[in-house]
């Protein structure tokens, strides 16, 4: 008796196969009498081969679902690690900042973007045993919380240290009886101000001076010199006639000093309110040239300049 076609296929290929009627029997429940030559759905059982064979689209969806289940936790973990590292760097090592005012001209200009080094001047505590913190030195530029508003950051130069006796006469700063050599200091034109020209003074002549600081100033003045208390620092801007600094709001505590400006990583061309306007030379030019706009967009020569 000749073999059934399905049996011949099995013998030839070595892999179980099913007739068209058998495949339909697994998916559709027949209603009514079963015609001769077909297989009843209730009598056909799934073979291992039938179990392994799946729909291609369903297989792709399953693979995508598995990738999503395994990929999302890994991506979230990687993002979390990146955030932690970034927060650590910004909190303890480096912090970007932009100069908004003219108080440090011409050392720092309006529009300079600074990278701050937080790893040397941050306050002590538990991190002092991990990071190499250093002391504050006279003449260096530091970043600190404003004594008037702790949410605001200021950049000034350290002039007076704890225990110093300080005096300013006609722009010259004397500390402990010695006149400081300050090549960084500039004196752009301004109206006469006796308070700035002779500091400290007993005459309240500048309304910009904080009243609380004025009272403290009188108590700490001895023989015409300001005596700086322990744990306090006296700050001045390099642009002496256009700087709101310790002369106006007082001392800075050690725990308020957080960083040193390290490098200028970018500098946008921004006007300064203290610049002297130059008269036009009536040169003929091409102000609309792209190259002129690109060149004037930023101070390219200041990029990556180390701050001193």
Burial class (CB in 10 A: 0-12, 13-18, 19+), 198: middle
Full DSSP string of 74-131 = HHHHHHHHHHHHHHHIIIIIEEEEE--SSTTTTTS-TTEEEEEE-TTTS--SGGGGTS
What confidence category does residue 120 fall into, taking pLDDT thresholds of 50, 70 and 90?
Answer: confident
Q: Which residue from 172, 136, 139 is spatially nearest to 157, judged by alpha carbons?
A: 139
- 176 lies in some domain: yes
The answer, yes or no, to whether residue 8 has pLDDT greater than 80, is: no
Alpha-carbon torsion (82, 88, 91, 93), positive or negative: negative
What confidence category does residue 32 fall into, taking pLDDT thresholds of 50, 70 and 90?
Answer: very low
- 43 lies in some domain: no
- 247 lies in some domain: yes
Q: What is the mean pLDDT of residues 50-73?
A: 59
Q: How far apart are CA 137 and CA 171, in angstroms?
A: 21
Q: For the segment 210-237, what is each residue's pLDDT rounded down to a tens digit?
A: 999 999 999 999 999 999 999 999 999 9
Alpha-carbon torsion (59, 61, 64, 70), positive or negative: negative
The CATH number given to whatever domain includes residue 189 is: 2.10.109.10
Residue that the structure tokens 């001895």 belong to: 222
- 34 lies in some domain: no
Q: How far apart are CA 299 and CA 134, in angstroms?
A: 32
Contacts of 280 (CB under 8 A, 6+ apart): none
- 286 lies in some domain: no
- 161 lies in some domain: yes
Q: How far apart are CA 148 and CA 251, in angstroms?
A: 11
Model pTM? Answer: 0.66
- 293 lies in some domain: no
Q: How far apart are CA 240 and CA 186, in angstroms?
A: 6
Q: Which residues of 108-145 are buried (b: 16+ CB within 10 A; e: fewer)?
A: bbbbbbbbbbbbebbeeeeeeeeeebeebeeeebbbbb
Model pLDDT, residue 298: 92
Domain range for residue 210?
Answer: 99-270+302-306
The answer, yes or no, to whether residue 147 has pLDDT greater than 70, is: yes
How many domains would you assign to the chain?
A: 1
- 69 lies in some domain: no
Q: How far apart are CA 173 and CA 198, in angstroms?
A: 10
Contacts of 271 (CB under 8 A, 6+ apart): 110
First to last CA, the chain: 104
Q: How far apart are CA 110 and CA 305, in angstroms?
A: 15
Using a pLDDT cut of 70, give the percent of the chain over it: 59
Model pLDDT, residue 177: 95
| 199 contacts 234 by C-beta, under 8 angstroms | no
């Amino acid at each position: 008796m000749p073999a059934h076609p399905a049996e011949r296929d099995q013998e030839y290929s070595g892999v179980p196969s099913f007739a068209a009627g058998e495949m339909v029997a697994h998916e559709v429940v027949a209603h009514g009498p079963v015609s001769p030559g077909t297989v009843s759905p209730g009598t056909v059982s799934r073979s291992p081969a039938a179990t392994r064979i799946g729909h291609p689209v369903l297989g792709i969806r399953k693979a995508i679902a598995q990738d999503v289940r395994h990929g999302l936790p890994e991506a979230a973990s990687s993002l979390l690690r990146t955030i932690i590292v970034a927060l650590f760097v910004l909190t303890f090592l480096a912090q970007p900042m932009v100069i908004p005012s003219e108080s440090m001209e011409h050392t720092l200009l309006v529009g300079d973007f600074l990278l701050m080094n937080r790893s040397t001047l941050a306050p002590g505590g538990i991190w002092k045993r991990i990071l190499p913190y250093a002391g504050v030195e006279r003449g260096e530029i530091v970043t600190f919380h404003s004594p008037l508003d702790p949410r605001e950051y200021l950049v000034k130069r350290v002039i007076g240290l704890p225990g110093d006796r300080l005096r300013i006469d006609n722009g010259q700063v004397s500390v402990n009886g010695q006149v400081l050599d300050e090549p960084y200091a500039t004196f752009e034109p301004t109206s006469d101000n006796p308070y700035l020209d002779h500091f400290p003074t007993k005459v309240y002549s500048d309304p910009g001076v904080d009243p609380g600081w004025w009272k403290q100033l009188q108590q700490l003045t001895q023989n015409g010199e300001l005596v700086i208390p322990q744990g306090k620092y006296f700050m001045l801007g390099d642009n002496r006639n256009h700087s709101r600094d310790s002369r106006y709001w007082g001392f800075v505590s050690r725990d308020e000093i957080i960083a040193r400006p390290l490098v200028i990583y970018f500098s946008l061309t921004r006007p300064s309110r203290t610049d002297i306007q130059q008269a036009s030379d009536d040169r003929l030019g091409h102000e609309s040239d792209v190259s002129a706009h690109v060149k004037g967009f930023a101070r390219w020569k200041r990029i990556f300049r180390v701050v001193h």
